[in-house]
Each structure stands twice: as structure tokens, then as C-alpha cells.
Amino acid sequence: MQTLPSLRAALGAKPGVEETFPFDTVTLVVKVGGKMFALLALTDDPLRLSLKVDPDYGDLLRATFPAIQPGYHLNKRHWITLTLDGTLEDALVDELIDESYRLVVRGLPRRMRANLEGAEG
């Protein structure tokens, strides 16, 4: 099951990532190239993690997993919120983190993308 330290480690391991707290002291916003790709409510129990998603895949995920809902306070078509209550496989959560990061990086200017891709090695 995903824990707060393991989530922060997974999110922070990506090239060019920065952790910010633009809203309050308990809502972690994780950005790459200045763009948000993850939002984590640090005090929620169970933890809730919001991620960017391809709209069609998001529809499928929401239809398949009760613990995946439309993005909380976010664009419901492009964001999902995962309730990490133990019902989602860790591998799926990791895959969704990776995909959210890739979607945001894909939208960055070419030069910034090239720097990040070079950092991935």
C-alpha cells in the first residue's frame, strides 16, 4: 500500500520535479517545468492523490475502480483523484504517476523537454 513517504519518493524521483505548497501547508503540489502533474493532500486519511490523465483512459479508470474519481477541485475530464485506501494496486498507482508526468512534460516547450529527457538518462 502506498504511504506518504513512498508517494513523495516516487513523485520526487522524476527529473526536474519541484514540490510546492501554493494553496496551504497541507496540500502538496508537485510540478515539472512549472506545471502541476500531481496534487497530494498530506493530512487526508486515506491519502488522496490527484493526477493528470488522458481523458479516455480517465473515463475507463473511473468506470473500473471505485477508488478513482474525477479530479477533486480540478478539471474533471483531464484529472483523476485516487483514494489510496488499499484497493488500488501499487503498480497501477506508479503507472498513473508516470503517465501524469509524461503528459505534462509532453506539453512543455521543446527545449525544456529536451533538458528533462536528457536528465532521465
Cα–Cα distance measured from residue 21 to residue 30, given in angstroms and rounded to the nearest whole number: 9
CATH class of 4-107: alpha beta
Cα–Cα separations (whole angstroms), residue 51 to 35, 80, 81: 12, 6, 6
Q: At residue 121, what is the residue type?
A: G
Sequence-distant (6+) residues with CB within 8 A of 63 are: none
Cα–Cα distance measured from residue 44 to residue 90, given in angstroms and rounded to the nearest whole number: 18
> Where do the structural domains in the chain lie, given as residue ranges?
4-107
In contact, 103 and 37? CB cutoff 8 Å? yes
Query: What's the pTM?
Result: 0.91
Please provide residue 68's backbone torsions phi and psi, each rounded to the nearest 5 degrees: -115, 120
Residue 121 has what pLDDT? 46
Residue 29 has what pLDDT? 96
Per-residue pLDDT of the chain (121 residues; tens, 9 = 90+): 688 999 999 999 999 999 999 999 999 999 999 999 999 999 999 999 999 999 999 999 999 999 999 998 888 889 999 999 999 999 999 999 999 999 999 999 888 888 887 665 4
